Amino acid sequence: MLQSLVLRPTRRLYSKLSARLRRGALAACMAASFATALGAFVMHPPEIEDLSEERSNELPSLLDQWEEGDVIVLLRHLERCDKEDYPCLEGTEGITSRSVPVGSLLAEGFGQLGLSKTDVYNSPLTRTAQTEELVFNDLGIDEDWLYKCRETMLEDALERKVPGKNMVLVTHSSCISAFEQSLGYDTETPEYGTALFFTKPADSKFLKVVGFLDADDWKRALEDGARRQRG
C-alpha cells in the first residue's frame, strides 16, 4: 500500500511531462544512481592484496626488509576444532589434527625466511598456542593483548616492535580485523593459517601494508621472490 501511495503520484507527474522533460528527468535519475554507486566505491576501504598474485612485485623488497628486521607478521591460527567436524589435535578448544600438515608448510616457510632476528608472540588461547608450537617450536611468548585486542591492537604491536627485529603475532581473525581497520583497511576474514605482512623500518614512523600469503602459497611465493631478488 505504501508503495502505491508513492508510485502513483510519481507516475501521474511523469506522464504530464513533455518528451524533452522526460528525457531530462531520466538522465538526472541515471546520473544520481551513478554518483551513488561511485561514492560507495570510493568510500569503501581498500583490501590487503595477495602476495602470490596482485602484490607479487613486493616480494623482493619484503625479503630485503626481513633481513633488516623491519617486518611485522600477523598469523591467524590454524583450523579450530570446535568449528569443524574433524578430530581435534589435543583438547576440544584447540585446532584440528588435519592442521598439522598446514603447520608444517608454515614452519618451512618461516624457516626459509630465518628466525634469528625475530620475536614471536602468541595469544595464550589453546588454538593459537597450538599453532605457535607447530609453526615455531614453542619459541613464542604468551600475550593476553593478542586476544584482548579490539581497540589497541595496532598500538600494542608497535610498542613491542624492537628495531632491527621482525615480529610475528599468532592471533585471531578479530584481532587481525582490528589491526587492519586501524590502518584504514577492511579485508575479508583471512583463512586459517594466513599471514599478513607489514613493514616498519627503524627510521620511519609509518607502517607499510605489504600483502598476505595463504599457507599453501608460501613455497611458490618465496621462490618467486628470491628469483626476482637475484634479478
Give the model confidence (pLDDT) of 67-76 as tens digits.
999 999 999 9
Q: What is the mean pLDDT of residues 87-93?
A: 91
Given this model, what pLDDT does residue 107 score?
97
Given this model, what pLDDT does residue 58 score?
95
In this structure, what C-alpha cell is assigned to residue 173? 581473525
Q: Which residues does 213 contact at the CB level (< 8 Å), separation at least 6?
A: 50, 51, 52, 109, 194, 195, 197, 221
Q: d(Cα 97, Cα 108) in Å, to the nearest integer?
A: 18
Q: Around 136, how many Cα atoms within 13 Å sit in the side-chain half-sphere? A: 26
As a whole-number percent, the residues of the chain with pLDDT over 90 amount to 66
pLDDT tens across 186-221, in order?
Answer: 888 999 999 999 999 888 888 999 999 999 999 899
pLDDT bin (cut points 50, 70, 90) of residue 98 is: very high
pLDDT tens across 14-60, in order?
Answer: 455 555 555 554 454 454 444 444 443 446 789 999 999 989 999 99
